Amino acid sequence: MKIVSVILARGGSKGIPNKNIIDLNGEPMISYVIKSSSASKVHETWVSTDCSKIKKTSLSFGANVLDRPASIADDFSKSEDALLHFANNVQFDILVFIQPTSPLLLSSDIDKGLDMITNTDSVYDSIFSAYRDHWIPKWDSNINPHNWDINKRPMRQEKSYKFVENGAFYITKRNHLINSKLRYSGNIGISEMPNYRSFQVDTLDDLKLIGKLL
């Protein structure tokens, strides 16, 4: 069984220019997930990119690189388009899709998800990472309680928790990706990560916060 990872890292970030290779505590941000993938049970670590700078950086940290066509690397391109392009060019049985904006991801997180899908008694076809979200009172834009009664404020332990995708990684079997054209399908499982390592870099404030957590 061949297990590969792919990190989708296009070059056209608008919020933070060159976000995927921006300096984070002295290293390009993408290097953190490349290292975590390389130290995990993944057999090959790949980066899919349309950017020569990201390509050069990724190669320097030991990743393989697949050149991504510009037609599936603009602001409106779906990740699934790049995943299917990858599947058409690289052979694998199990794919770990990792996002470069999750530098707090550890190799042990990836391995935990892989164990869930590769164990001989596994019932899962896909796995995604998430954190546990306990109930807190939320209000809508009109300052009305959202799904709770202000006259009967519940206690946290009375409400069931939910899982929130943290976007760090998704794992799926090749045939399920190709047939569904989705990052997860079939029997889906959750690989839980702690909330404090579930932050993603979308803004410069995120970058500063994660820099302090690393």
Residues noted as catalytic? 153
**Residue 13 amino acid letter:** S
Instruction: In whole angstroms, give the CA distance from residue 1 to residue 181.
Output: 21
DSSP three-state, residue 82:
helix
DSSP three-state, residue 166:
strand
Region at 110 (left for phi over 0; alpha for psi -120 to 50; beta for the rest)? alpha
N-to-C CA span, the chain: 33
